[in-house]
Each structure stands twice: as C-alpha cells, then as structure tokens.
Amino acid sequence: MEIDVITIDGPTSSGKNSVGFLLAQKLGYQYIDSGSIYRAGSILVLRKKISSDNTEEVTEVFRNLRLKTRTHDHEVRFLVDGEDITDFLHNTEVTQLVPVIAAIAEVREAVKVIQYKLVSSKNTVMTGRDIGSEIFPNVKHKFFLTADVEVRAKRRFEQLVVKDPNVKYEVVLENMKDRDKQDETREISPLRIPEGAIVIDNSNLTVEQTVEEMLKSIQPNVILSD
Ligand code: DC
C-alpha cells in the first residue's frame, strides 16, 4: 500500500495543530506535529544539562530519540522510552531552547530520520515549518496555513491569559513578530511557502471551516456532511 502524507506548514499560532488533528481524524490518518519532535529532544537536552552550543551531544540526543505517539482523549500523546512527556512539551524553558536546537543542521537531519520512520506504515497528516518544502517535497497535497499576525497573537494571548492573568497582549504580539522573523530569516530551512502548496489564510475561518476548505481540494468529488 502506498502511504499518503499531507503536509501543513505555517507560522506560529496559525492553527496548524487544531486543523491538522481534525483533518487527520476526518481522513482516518495519524497526526504528527513535527514541532513536538524538536520539543521532545529539547526536553532531554535540558534534563541531561547539555549546553546548546555542544552540537555533537545535542545531535546525539536526537539520533537516539525513541519516539512513539498515541492518540488518547482526542489528543496525540508523545512517549520517549515509554515515558509520556506530552505535558512538558510547552514548558517555558523548552519553548526558549527549541528554536536554537532547531537551527542546528545535524539535528534537522536526525529529525528527518524520525519523521520518515513515523510515517513509514501509516497515512499521515504532518504539520511544521519545512514539511512540504524539505521533508516531503513530492506529496500530492500540501497546505500553507497562515493568519494575520494580530489574529495569531490574539489566539496565543487567549491561551496564555488563562494561566497568567498578568500577560499583556502587546507583549505577546511583539514576541510573535520576533518569532516570525526568526523562523523566516534563519539560514537553515527558513519558513517559506512550499512549491505547489495551497495557501489558506484562516484569519476569519474557524478550525472546522479551514478543514472543509482543505477537504475540498483533497476529495473534490466527495459531498461533505457533518
Ligand atoms: O510549532 P512549534 O512552536 O511547536 O515548533 C517548535 C520549534 O521547532 C520552533 O522554533 C520551530 C521549530 N520547527 C522547525 O524548525 N521545523 C519544523 N518542521 C517544526 C518546528
């Protein structure tokens, strides 16, 4: 059986995770968020107290990363050596370290091996920054999801304010602009629209409406129902 991979790339808080998960569910595919692979390795780098300058040891962590996923209660859980590390993926220290780690060429090569292994036997929806451009450039269905930076900052703000009522929208917006700049200008695998990708601006779309848009191009002859 030929494995089908659908790629979704886009900037931070463009809704890739919610959209990717729902699209995968509708199609009966597995869902993999590749940012979580970089985050999982970063957790181990922190635990082992390896300096991010130590490219060799950091890369070794990713070469030895034994990652498994399972869907539980409508979300994908990540397991490393049997330990469920999902709840740590978005810790502040991890979020700060991961862009530095993701900019190391050798780490990206090691992650590519993990990405190929994870899709080797299952139809997959994978989200990230370089999935349709570098990892699976030849797939049939590629999407680039985006939204106005103010809309994305508002989404992020609403997630953060639940945990910290002192968080300021203006600060979140500035951080988001910085993250965009980092992602777009980094030397290795900068964020860009993959060749052949369908661009969807979901500033004014719900997750469901975004997925419906995607399904129209994936299954043009299927009449959609709820
Ligand atoms: O989407 P995210 O915020 O969880 O991604 C975490 C980091 O990993 C972010 O700095 C971008 C980087 N990343 C990447 O370089 N390539 C990918 N395919 C996915 C994420």
* pLDDT tens digit sequence for 98-146: 999 999 999 999 999 999 999 998 999 999 999 999 999 999 999 999 9
* Cβ 38 under 6 angstroms from ligand 1: yes
Cα–Cα–Cα angle for 4, 6, 10, rounded to 5 degrees: 165
Specify the higher pLDDT residue, 223 or 183.
Answer: 183
Domain match, 95 and 200 both: no
How many angstroms separate the CA atoms of 197 and 15, rounded? Answer: 17
Domain match, 116 and 140 both: no
* Cβ 32 under 6 angstroms from ligand 1: no
Is the pLDDT at 147 greater than 60? The verdict is yes
Banded model confidence at residue 220, pLDDT cuts 50, 70, 90:
low
Residue-wise pLDDT tens digits, 154-176: 999 998 899 889 999 999 999 99
- Unique residue bearing structure tokens 């004014």: 204
Task: Give the strand pairing for 67-72 and 141-146.
Answer: unpaired
Residue-wise pLDDT tens digits, 20-37: 999 999 999 999 999 999
Range of the structural domain that residue 170 is part of = 1-29+124-226
Q: What is the pLDDT of residue 204?
A: 96
Instruction: State the total domains in the chain.
Output: 2
How many angstroms separate the CA atoms of 8 and 93, rounded? Answer: 26
In the 3-class helix/strand/coil scheme, how is the chain assigned residue by residue?
Answer: CCCCEEEEECCCCCCHHHHHHHHHHHHCCEEEEHHHHHHHHHHHHHHCCCCCCCHHHHHHHHHCCCEEEEEECCEEEEEECCEECHHHCCCHHHHHHHHHHHCCHHHHHHHHHHHHHHCCCCCEEEEECCHHHHHCCCCCEEEEEECCHHHHHHHHHHHHHHHCCCCCHHHHHHHHHHHHHHHHHCCCCCCCCCCCCEEEECCCCCHHHHHHHHHHHHCCCCCCCC
Name the nearest CA neighbour of 66 among 40, 90, 88.
40
- Take atom 20 of ligand 1 and give the residue whose Cα is closest: 35
Residue 132, both tokens:
């349709």
Final residue of a domain: which of 83, 106, 122?
122
CATH number at residue 70: 3.40.50.300
Q: What is the pLDDT of residue 59?
A: 98
Domain match, 133 and 88 both: no
How many angstroms separate the CA atoms of 206 and 209, rounded? Answer: 5
Distance 221 CA to ligand 1 centre (A): 34
Other CB atoms closer than 10 Å to residue 58's CB: what's the count?
24
* Mutate-to-test residue for ligand 1 from 37, 76, 95, 129, highest number of ligand atoms within 8 A of CB: 129
Which atom of ligand 1 is nearest to 130's Cα? Answer: 18
The pTM of the full predicted model, rounded to 2 decimals, is: 0.92
Is the pLDDT at 223 greater than 60? The verdict is no
Percent residues over pLDDT 90 in the chain: 80
Final residue of a domain: which of 122, 151, 177?
122
Final residue of a domain: which of 122, 138, 170?
122
